Amino acid sequence: DKRRAAALATHGIGYADVGTSGGVWGLQNGYCMMAGGAPNDIARLTPALDTLGPPDGWLHTGAVGSGHFSKMIHNGIEYGMMQAYAEGFEILQASEYDYDLAKLSHLWNQGSVVRSWLLELAELAFKQDPKLEKIRGFVEDSGEGRWTVLEAIDKNIPAEVLTLSLMRRFRSRQEDTFTDRVLAA
């Protein structure tokens, strides 16, 4: 990104990157934008960013590339949060208690320390399909979780939860793996 920005600058063209979080629900629920670029380029974009985003919905994160880099790390964190919710709900579902997971999700979003938009999405899923029987346990990845793990490796940062969350996504795409057959043997 820095090379592109420098090349464009020689022609009088500014360059900025804006990582955006909010997904397909952003129009309804809002979204946030992480803007990387030179201060003068971001200043020129400020009216558009102010118009597009909700109040406090964007941040100048630093130099060119920092917007998408922070969005990449954001998605890695999201993988870890999703994995924690998934494991917790599996334990609840397998327990001796007959939990209404939609109601429990709703309750947890009323001031609990684990409240989040991801939990709201889980609540919605449980309302539509309480045992999630219509959902195949196949989870894609955007590539940003992979990049986050590679960055952690490059910087010698132990990111166990983020790495294992990515590996679980890979595992969700496999059936009757050789690994499982070796374990069974």
- Residue of 138, 145, 135, 143 lying closest to 165 (CA atoms): 145
Judge whether 14 and 24 are in contact, CB under 8 Å: no
- Residue of 125, 110, 126, 114 lying closest to 85 (CA atoms): 114
pLDDT for res 157: 95
Q: Which residues are catalytic?
A: 71, 78
Cα(50)–Cα(14) distance, rounded to whole angstroms?
Answer: 19
Tokens of 43: 């200043």
pLDDT for res 54: 86
The answer to pTM > 0.85 is: yes
Amino acid at position 87, single letter: E
- Residue of 57, 18, 64, 22 lying closest to 39 (CA atoms): 64
Each residue's pLDDT, cut to its tens digit, for the chain (185 residues) gives: 678 878 888 898 999 999 999 877 777 777 899 999 999 999 999 999 999 888 899 999 999 999 999 999 999 999 999 999 999 999 999 999 999 999 999 999 999 999 999 999 999 999 999 999 998 888 888 888 899 999 999 999 999 999 999 999 999 999 888 888 888 88
Beta-carbon count within 10 A of 174 CB: 11
Hunting for tokens 């993988």 — which residue is that?
A: 79
**Which residues in 15-53 are b (16+ Cβ under 10 Å) and which e?**
bbbbbbbbeeebeeeebbbbbbbbeebbeebeeebeeeb
